[in-house]
Amino acid sequence: MKKADVIKALKDLGVPAEQIEELEYNELRALLKEKEEGQDGQADTGTQEKEGGTGEAVVGQEQPEAPSNDGAVQANDDEPLVAYDYQLRLYENKIIGVHPEAKRVVITNLGAGDLYSDVDMVSFDPADRIAPGESKEFKGAVKVFVRSASRPTVRIEQFIN
């Protein structure tokens, strides 16, 4: 399926254009699969989809909503607005577009190598290093740049609080 077809299908399913524009092709395909399964009542959070050498993406859990005392629906601030894991390739650069409603982004290195992350540019600066098992938080970022030194898996979580 071509990228244009995936984008059209996501728009038909009601996914906001801003969210679509920020995702790469493999993330778009995973999101489409998730949305289609959700319509069939078979949603499976944590579904992985491989796309020829571009890494593995586990696309996002939509933010659960909880009713407030006055009956209005409110978002749960402890849950991420967007969350997915991504397997980086050797010396891969990835630019992560932050959801417009997200106030902070947490990048976690799940292991298998070093990861470098910054909001200004792609960097190999030791100050930007995230060792396996560590996390780094960015507040108010519009984009986050991530670079691998090997093949780490990175968890990207975006929060509204």
Tell me: the pLDDT tens digits for 96-124?
888 888 899 999 998 878 888 888 777 77
Whether 90 has a pLDDT exceeding 60, the answer reads yes
User: H or E stretch including 32?
Assistant: helix 25-39
Computed on alpha carbons and rounded to an integer, the radius of gyration of the chain in Å comes to 16
CATH class label, 61-161? mainly beta
Of 12-21, 52-61, 66-75, which range is least confident?
52-61
Q: What's the pLDDT score for residue 113?
A: 84
pLDDT at 76: 52
Task: Report the distance separating Cα 17 and Cα 4, nearest Å.
Answer: 13
Start-to-end CA distance of the chain, whole Å, equals: 36
Q: Distance between CA atoms of 56 and 88, rounded to whole angstroms?
A: 8
> Where do the structural domains in the chain lie, given as residue ranges?
1-59, 61-161
Q: What are phi and psi of 7, to 5 degrees?
A: -60, -45
pLDDT at 75 exceeding the cut of 70 = no
